[in-house]
Structure 1
Amino acid sequence: MNAALPPSRSRHEALVDVGGGVRLWVWDTGGDGPAIVLLHASAGSGECWDLQWPVFAEAGYRVIGYSRRGHFGSDDGDPATTTPASTDLLRLVDTLGLERFHLIGTAAGGMVATDFAVSYPQRLLGFVISSSIVGLVDDDYQAMLQRLLPPEFEQLPHDFRELGPSYRAQCPEGVAHWNAKLARSGVDRVPLRFANRVRWADLQRFDFPVLVLTGDADLYAPPANARLIASRIPSARLAILPGSGHSPWWEVPELYNREILNFLG
């Protein structure tokens, strides 16, 4: 987590109504550059991007992050009437006046982002699938996930699942800071809903640039998973980040940021 950051830039925070009286906590750096929208993991919130947004803003981008329903700063809403998270995202970007933008989704945020990309491909300039199993429902993919993630896996501590062994061994202060953010994040308070049952055929139709990225020690979304997903998207390129588990944005931020900025061009 010891990333060298550019001089601090300001950002504006607000609560944005996405319908049904539900308000999402949003921050926005503003600016005239192309927009980047960041989608956090299940074990996280819009707070998680402190090592990204100053770097991306310094590179000339307008950077936007938010917390999904039930996560830090955002309303829970009524679980019985919860809309798909991709619908909330659509209402959010419409409210912010974003016609087209780059979308970066990590872990469960990558599942929401993929759902959005299937429904609204015309809105995307580029798409980063970061450390994510993307929510595919095809039988062959689901069978692989069952081999990869036995039921007992979910009983392990969050930091064991989310952070790689090298990081946990070498950066105890970073692990403690990550856990402090996790405690505020609101993990799994509101179950995710999706608009689509995403299949391989949907990914094969993506006609915008895609970066599939993961850490080489990611237990959730290992390199084999990332290679498989990238192989099914004609416009995709692949990046495997050394020394990282499921949270490269936190574990190896300088490498993560550089890979994304190189992709965005």
Structure 2
Amino acid sequence: MDMFQPGRRKVILSGGIGGAALLLGGERAEAAPARGCTFDVAPLEPEPLPPELTAPAQLARLDGFDLWYWDTGGSGPAIILLHPSTGSGHVWGYQQAPFAAAGYRVIGYSRRGHRGSSAMNAERPGTSADDLRQLMDHLRIERAHLVGSAAGGFTAASFALTWPARVRTVTLACTLLSADPRVLALMPSVREPWWKGLPHEFQELSPSYRGINKEGEALWKSLYAQSRGDHPPGNQPAGEPATVAAIARLTMPALFISGDADLITPPPVARLFANTVKGSELVVLPECGHSAYWERPALFNQAILDFLKRRSA
């Protein structure tokens, strides 16, 4: 197919902004035919609103706190979805059914301080990584695939650093990780300080998405408004800081996902992280901001499922 054929675009995973990108083995991949290196992408159209979550929801009563979660059940390997700070366990409508249909047991939950779960305790804040360990013990899950979006990636990375034997693979989507000096040195070149004054939907959703999907934007804003429930703002410590130096220790298969219009974790930053982890892969999704799981769910899901199929142990 001619990649410039009118009405359709072939997006090549080549590292170019505006397409999707892939890093293999911690090194930049040149544009060349390779397994999983092309997406045939139709003209951008509004995503239908996600289906309702249908898996049973429960409260896990842990060590002095409760975590709200849902669990599709089944005997397949577990995928645990870790939400961004602007979300909760309720945001995974696009992922629950496709991942379950692929044969996985899929779990989503709200971290402390988020909708349905306990408030954070200032005297005993704990860490979100240890909370995840307790939830896995409660659910009798010894090993899992972790998929973290944005702040959820902080938890996933910290957990993977602390309990690597319990992680099959780790996917870090649109995740800035720690304020490492190398990251801080990059940021002035890729965004201006005033971006923090933008409304959250402008910070997190790409112009392409906001321009064509008003219903989806409205639902994203509604889920964000409900994401804390009655809890005050604030984030629980993740655990071990996932600095660039620290994530170099990761040995399980790792996938990094970024959007080419992500203002918070732009592709150069995601590329820095991926180059640090031996054998990791990086996918940059086209016309996509910081909420890749929501803006480009078909490509997001495909990238993860293809990765799990190739790299699962």
Quickly name the TM-score band, shorter chain normalised.
over 0.9
Report the CA distance between 1:203 and its aligned residue.
1.4
Structure 1: unaligned runs, 5 residues or longer: none
Residue 258 (structure 1) aligned to one of 271, 279, 302: 302
- 8 Å contact 2:53–2:93 — kept in the other structure? no
Quick check: 1:232 aligned with 2:276? yes
| SS of residue paired to 2:111 | coil
Output the aligned Cα RMSD.
Answer: 2.0
SS state at 1:239 partner: strand
**Are 1:169 and 2:205 matched, yes or no?**
no
Q: Is the 8 A contact 1:130 1:212 kept in 2?
A: yes
Alpha-carbon distance between aligned partners in 2 of 1:41 and 1:162, rounded to the nearest angstrom: 11
Matches within 5 A, 1:127-138: 127-135=170-178, 137-138=179-180
> 2:130 matched to 1:92?
no
What percent identity do the matched residue pairs reach?
41
Equivalent position of 1:143 in the other structure: 185
CA distance in 1, matches of 2:239, 2:170: 18
What is the TM-score normalised by the length of structure 2? 0.79
Q: Deviations over 1:41-92 (max 9, x none)?
A: 0001101100001000001000000001111111104223111111111101
Is residue 108 of structure 2 the alignment partner of residue 70 of structure 1? no
For the 8 Å contact 1:42–1:188, the answer to whether it is kept is: no
- Pairing 1:1-150 to 2, within 5 Å after superposition: 2=47, 10-20=54-64, 22-135=65-178, 137-145=179-187, 148=190
- Rounded to whole Å, the distance in 2 between the matches of 1:102 and 1:210 is 10
The question of 1:183 aligning with 2:225 is answered yes
**SS of residue matched to 1:206:** coil
Q: Does the aligned pair in 1 maintain the 2:85–2:235 contact within 8 Å?
A: no
Say which structure is richer in helix: 1
Q: C-alpha separation between the residues in 2 aligned to 1:149 and 1:188?
A: 29
Q: CA deviation at 1:189?
A: 2.3
Does the residue aligned with 1:80 lie in a helix, a strand or coil?
A: coil
Distance between the aligned counterparts of 2:263 and 2:235, measured in 1? Answer: 22
- Residues 214-223 or 72-81, more deviating: 72-81
Q: Deviations over 1:141-174 (max 9, x none)?
A: 2333465565543321110011001000111111
Equivalent pair of 1:71/1:189 in contact (CA under 8 Å): no
Task: Tell me which amino acid in the other structure corresponds to 1:60.
Answer: G
The answer to whether the 8 Å contact 2:120/2:236 transfers is no
Gaps of 5+ in 2: 1-45
What one-letter code is carried by the residue in structure 2 that aligns with 1:200? V
Give the total of aligned pairs: 262
Instruction: Give the structure with higher Rg (CA).
Output: 2
Q: Distance in 2 between matches of 1:125 and 1:208?
A: 6
Paired residues of 2:160 and 2:167 also in contact (CA < 8 A): yes
**What are the superposed Cα offsets for residues 13-37 of structure 1, whole Å, 9 maximum, x if unpaired?**
11112312x1111000000000000
- What secondary structure does 1:229 align onto? helix
C-alpha deviation, 1:196, in angstroms: 1.5
Q: Normalising by structure 1, report the TM-score.
A: 0.92
